[in-house]
Amino acid sequence: MYNIVLFGPPGAGKGTQSEKLIQKYGLTHLSTGDLFRKHLGEGTELGLLAKKYMNEGHLVPDEVVIRMVEEKINETKNTEGFIFDGFPRTTAQAEALDEMLAHNGLSISGMIALDVPEETLKIRIKERGKTSNRVDDQDDEKINTRIKVYLDETLPVADYYSKQGKFQKINGVGEIEQIFKDITSVIDSY
């Protein structure tokens, strides 16, 4: 079983690569951003709560995210493992994830970080914004906030896994297929 954290700033290509990885390895894709957007679309209480944070590019509070992930893990049966995409985004979330998995006799295989320069991220997010219908993909201020939040609050999560000897960084710029190949060689080494 593989439990992989796909890591990187907004616009790094985590969603694109996750889609390919779930097909190759039969993994369950757990994207907290996608889950929140689903709640938002369905107008649930959770969606309404998350909306004000998401639209400004801020993080949804840890306890809300953790509860949602826990539910998703518990309701998923018969999987080859999980790809965590956009989660954990804080050290508290990473600790909670370790606990949840340990509870089920599982652990994280490793974190794979997609390395992409800031200028490229901004270009990619704006391009995605033309079709994504995401309020947070549209204007410079929100995009800048998301990148800043990533640098301030999320980057320490890389240290968390690094200390456990579970961190690997790969180049996230170039052909999608080449990046995919680089990711799969890390996974195949687990």
> Using CB under 6 A as the criterion, which residues of the chain lie in contact with ligand AMP when the complex forms?
10, 32-33, 36, 53-54, 57-60, 65, 86-87, 89, 93, 136, 146
- Nearest Cα neighbor of 88 from 164, 188, 20 is 164
Active site residue 124: no
Find the catalytic residue in 37, 89, 124, 142.
Answer: 89
Residue type, 36: F
Distance CA(126)–CA(124), nearest Å, equals 5
**Shortest Cβ distance from residue 11 to ligand AMP (Å)?**
8
The CA-atom distances, in angstroms, between 172 and each of 13, 19, 109, 157 are 7, 15, 20, 18
* Closer of 31 and 109 to ligand AMP (Cβ): 31
**Token pair listed for 104:** 């089920």
Active site residue 67: no
Find the catalytic residue in 14, 37, 124, 142.
Answer: 14
**Shortest Cβ distance from residue 56 to ligand AMP (Å)?**
8
Which residue numbers are catalytic? 14, 89, 128, 134, 146
